[in-house]
Structure 1
Amino acid sequence: MADTISFPDLAATVRVLPPSCGPVRVVAVDGPGGSGKTTFAGRLARALGCRVVHSDDFPVPWDEPPEAWFARVEEQVLVPLAAGGPGGYRRYDWVRGVFAEWVEVPVAPVLLMEGVSTARRTAPLAYAVWVEAPRELRLARALARDGAALEPQWHAWMRAEDEWFAADGTRSRADLLVDGAAVPGEFVAL
């Protein structure tokens, strides 16, 4: 039988890891769209008392590959943190279609990165979480959130995700595999 995730226990595990990006422990919560990454990352961030950088805060057109956003987070967040200084970025507002407020990313014991391709092979990670759920459930969640009119884009995006994850080997390198289809509010280790 699989184990339910204890966020305080997971936070305790992360806190004792060596830093991976300057003085910061970078933790990625990755997996395909609609799998439950954002909810998982939010709960872990509360347990850790840390900031979350969401890949969705960086605009990636539907016709770009899932990993296209990462160069900006490297330049604006990870490089400054690796040098021991704060990072930051301008969050993209998808509803208005413009860049919105500036988000400070201070030097802290832990930084969570959440979203598709955050646990990439080249990221300076202390720990990687992979969240997955059945494709049909993920598509239903995405369409409930974004609207049925975006279904063609979501099918194309899911194919692009599949290609990215296969090429990067993301799931196989994760430190923790999580079932994002479990009872709402619970996460179960696979």
Structure 2
Amino acid sequence: MSSSEHDDERRLRAAVTAAVESGRHRSAIVLIDGPSGAGKSSLADLLVADGPFPNEPTLVRMDDLYPGWGGLDAASAALGVDLLAPFRAGEPGRWQRWDWVTGSPADWSIVSPDRPLIVEGCGTLARGNAHSADLRIWLDADDELRKRRALARDGLAFETHWDQWQHDFERYLHREDPRRNADLVLDVTAWPLALRRAGARQD
């Protein structure tokens, strides 16, 4: 692991630890945003598996909320109203799954405020959402690499809708300036990052 990767790991762990400690009387909220293919899902999985949380976080993926390929703004707004606002107030939040097969709304999931919450996906760091979080993370990565990652993951479906999604995402960037809303910005072109357990040897 290079020195810059060590630095990213230390910054990430320190930021998450500080977020957990700042919300010691309630469960921490971590939001992860960035362009498609930047590594948001991978980072969220990493934090769930080995983040410095007092108990296992609940993970919500924005891919499950978007009401279709044109649903970035709607999902971002619903995240704030239905999940983040009540959760921040110490009450159960909820989110509604979108059924991509039938193209229609599906079941609701209830999220207990007794566990930390991680939400990853495009749209999380809209201004209306960012103030609810204890830690706001933005991921950057090389554009060509991002596209290869996203298409390798989602295949032909995403390739068909890539231009539409990018158009909506660029509009979101212009309107909300989510990168500026972040506490921590990481360039993850050189993934994988690694969160090592406290006290583990780092070679």
TM range (shorter): 0.7 to 0.9
Change beyond 3 A, Cα 1:109–1:162: same
Deviation (angstroms), 1:93:
4.2
1:50 partnered with 2:57: yes
1:23 partnered with 2:30: no
1:1-190 aligned at under 5 Å gives the runs 2=4, 3-6=7-10, 8-18=13-23, 23-46=26-49, 47=51, 48=53, 49-64=56-71, 66-95=72-101, 97=103, 102-108=108-114, 110-123=116-129, 124-148=132-156, 150-186=158-194
Which residue identity lines up with residue 23 of structure 1 in the other structure?
R
Whether the aligned pair in 1 keeps the contact of 2:67 and 2:98 (CA below 8 Å) is: no
Counterpart-to-counterpart distance in 1, 2:34 and 2:189: 12
Q: Which runs of 4+ in 1 moved over 4 A?
A: 95-102
Counterpart-to-counterpart distance in 1, 2:184 and 2:89: 28
TM-score normalised per structure 2: 0.77
Instruction: Show structure 2 runs of 5+ residues with no match.
Output: 196-203
Post-superposition Cα deviations, 1:15-60, rounded to whole Å, max 9, x if no partner, equal 11247xx934321100011110011011112312211121111133
Structure with greater helix share of residues: 2
Which residue identity lines up with residue 93 of structure 2 in the other structure?
G
Counterpart-to-counterpart distance in 1, 2:17 and 2:89: 25
Deviation (angstroms), 1:101:
5.5
Change beyond 3 A, Cα 1:17–1:83: closer
The number of aligned residues is: 184
Which residue identity lines up with residue 88 of structure 1 in the other structure?
R
TM-score normalised per structure 1: 0.81
Change beyond 3 A, Cα 1:32–1:118: same
Deviation (angstroms), 1:175:
1.0
RMSD: 2.6
Deviation (angstroms), 1:77:
1.7
Which residue identity lines up with residue 34 of structure 2 in the other structure?
G
Counterpart-to-counterpart distance in 2, 1:63 and 1:14: 32
Counterpart-to-counterpart distance in 1, 2:180 and 2:133: 15
Counterpart-to-counterpart distance in 1, 2:160 and 2:107: 30
Change beyond 3 A, Cα 1:67–1:5: farther
Counterpart-to-counterpart distance in 1, 2:102 and 2:42: 23
Whether the aligned pair in 1 keeps the contact of 2:66 and 2:98 (CA below 8 Å) is: yes
Counterpart-to-counterpart distance in 1, 2:90 and 2:157: 44
